[in-house]
A and B are shown apart, each in its own frame.
Chain A
Amino acid sequence: MRRWIEKQRCLLDFTLSSLLRRKGKNIALAVVYTLIVFTLASVMMFTQALKKEASLILRETPEILVQKLAAGRHDLIPLSYASRIGQIRGVAEVKGRLWGYYFDPVMGANYTVMVSEDPSLDEGEILVGKGISRLRQVYKSNILSFRGCDGNYLAFKIKGTFEAESEIIASDLVLCSESDFRRLFGTPGGYATDLTVKVKNRKEIPTIAAKILQILPDTRPIRRDEILRTYDAVFDWRGGILLAVLAGAVLAFIIFAWDRAAGLSAEERREIGILKAIGWETADVLQMKFWEGLTISLSSFLLGILLAYGHVHFFSAGLFEPVLKGWSVLYPKFKLVPYVDPYQVATLFFFTVMPYTVATIVPSWRAATIDPDSVMRY
Chain B
Amino acid sequence: MRKSDIFLRFILVNLALMGVIFFHARAKTEAHLPRLQQVGRMVEQLQLTDLCLTTEAWHTRNPSQADWHTPFQTHPLALEHFPSGAIVRPPESMRKPHAPVD
Contact of A241 among B7, B35, B87 (CB under 8 A): B87
Give residues 329-366 of A contacting B (CB, 8 Å): 329-332, 337-340, 342
B21 within 8 A of A: yes
**Known contacts A173-B52, A306-B17: A168-B87 contact under CB 8 Å:** no
**Known contacts A338-B24, A340-B22: A196-B93 contact under CB 8 Å:** no
Q: How far is the CA of A102 from the CA of B16 in the complex (A)?
A: 50
Contact of A169 among B17, B32, B51 (CB under 8 A): B51
B75 within 8 A of A: no
| A65 contacts B49, C-beta separation under 8 Å | yes
CB A70 to nearest CB in B, in angstroms, measures 10
Task: Point out the residues of chain B lying under 8 angstroms from A109, CB to CB.
Answer: 55
Q: How far is the CA of A265 from the CA of B58 in the complex (A)?
A: 56
The size class of the interface chain A forms with chain B is: 35 or more
**Known contacts A58-B49, A61-B43, A233-B91: A302-B18 contact under CB 8 Å:** yes
Tell me the dominant secondary structure on chain B's binding face: helix
B25 within 8 A of A: yes
Complex: chain B residue closest to A233, CB-CB: B92
Contact of A332 among B8, B22, B49, B53 (CB under 8 A): B53
**Binding-face segment, A11-19, A80-88, A183-191, A199-207:** A11-19
Task: Point out the residues of chain B lying under 8 angstroms from A330, CB to CB.
Answer: 55
Q: How far is the CA of A173 from the CA of B55 in the complex (A)?
A: 11
A-B pairs with beta carbons under 8 Å apart, 14 shown: A10-B4, A54-B51, A57-B51, A73-B68, A111-B55, A165-B35, A168-B39, A169-B48, A194-B65, A222-B64, A295-B7, A305-B18, A306-B18, A313-B25
Chain A residues packing against B (C-beta within 8 Å): 9-10, 12-13, 16-17, 20, 50, 53-54, 56-62, 65, 67, 69, 72-74, 95, 97, 101, 109-112, 114, 116-117, 129, 131, 162-163, 165-173, 175, 194, 196, 220, 222, 226-227, 229-231, 233-234, 237-238, 241-242, 295, 298-299, 302-303, 305-306, 309, 313, 323-332, 337-340, 342
